[in-house]
Amino acid sequence: MLPIDTSMPPVRANFRHGMPKKVLYSLDLPESLDLGSIKREALAEAWGTFLLTLIGPGTITALSYLEGFGSSMTRLGFIGLAHGVALIAAAYSIGHISGAHINPAVTIAHWAAKRIDKAKVAPYILAQFAGASVAGFVQLAIWSGSPQTYSVAKSTFLGDTVVNPDFGIGVALFVEIIGTAILAFTVFGATDHEAGTSSNALAGLAIGLVLAGIIWMFGPISGASLNPARTWGPTLGSAVFGLTIFSNYWIYVIGPMLGGLLGAFLYDAIRGERTASKTATP
Angle between helices 251-271 and 203-222 (to 10 degrees): 140
Here the CATH number for the domain that contains residue 68 is: 1.20.1080.10
Q: What is the percent of the chain where pLDDT is above 70?
A: 81
Residue 165 falls inside a structural domain = yes
Please tell me the predicted confidence (pLDDT) of residue 197: 56
Helix axes 118-143, 104-112, angle to 10 degrees: 170
| pLDDT at site 120 | 94
Range with the poorest average pLDDT among 50-54, 207-211, 242-246 = 242-246
Asked if residue 279 has pLDDT above 80, the reply is: no
Residue 12 scores a pLDDT above 60: no
Pairwise CA distance, residues 184 & 108, whole Å:
10
Q: Which amino acid would we find at residue 58?
A: G
Mutual angle of helices 228-237 and 118-143, in 10-degree steps: 30
228 belongs to a structural domain: yes
Q: In this predicted structure, which of 25-39, 56-70, 113-127, 205-219 has the lowest mean pLDDT?
A: 25-39
- Residue 21 maps to a domain: no
How far from chain centre, in Å, is Cα 236?
Answer: 16
Which residue did the predictor score with more confidence, 245 or 91? Answer: 91
| The predicted structure's pLDDT at residue 27 | 40
CA distance 78 to 61: 12
7 domain-assigned: no
**What is the share, in percent, of the chain residues with pLDDT greater than 90?**
64
* Structure-model confidence comparison of residues 80 and 144, the more confident one: 80
- Are 58 and 141 in contact, with CB atoms under 8 Å apart? no
Domain total of the chain: 1
| Integer angstrom CA distances of residue 156 from 108, 152, 159, 255 | 30, 6, 5, 22
Is there a contact between 253 and 228 (Cβ–Cβ < 8 Å)? yes
Q: What is the average pLDDT score of the chain?
A: 84
In a domain, 58, yes or no: yes
3-state secondary structure string, the chain? CCCCCCCCCCCCCCEECCEEHHHHHHCCCCCCCCHHHHHHHHHHHHHHHHHHHHHHHHHHHHHHHCCCCCCHHHHHHHHHHHHHHHHHHHHHHHHHHHCCCCCHHHHHHHHHCCCCCHHHHHHHHHHHHHHHHHHHHHHHHHHCCCHHHHHHHHHHHHHCCCCCCCCHHHHHHHHHHHHHHHHHHHHHHHCCCCCCHHHCCCHHHHHHHHHHHHHHHHHHHHCCCCCHHHHHHHHHHHHHHCHHHHCCCCHHHHHHHHHHHHHHHHHHHHHCCCCCCCCCCC
134: amino acid identity, one letter: V
Q: Whole-model pTM?
A: 0.82
**Residue 30 lies inside a defined structural domain of this protein:** no
Residue of 72 and 110 predicted with greater confidence = 110
Cα distance between the two ends of the chain: 49
Which amino acid would we find at residue 61?
Answer: T
Q: How many CB atoms lie within 10 A of CB 15?
A: 10
Q: What pLDDT score does 146 carry?
A: 83
As a whole number of angstroms, the distance between CA 226 and CA 180 comes to 5
Average pLDDT over residues 70-82: 90
Band the pLDDT of 275: cuts 50, 70, 90. Answer: low
Look at residue 32 and tell me whether its pLDDT is greater than 60: no
Quickly state the pLDDT bin for 195 (edges 50, 70, 90).
Answer: low
Residue 30 has pLDDT above 70, yes or no: no
Containing domain of residue 134, as a range? 35-271
Residues 221-272: pLDDT tens digits? Answer: 999 999 999 999 999 998 887 766 788 999 999 999 999 999 999 999 998 8
Position 16 pLDDT exceeds 60 = no
Residue 10 lies in a domain: no
Domain assignment of residue 17, yes or no: no
Largest Cα–Cα distance in the chain? 90
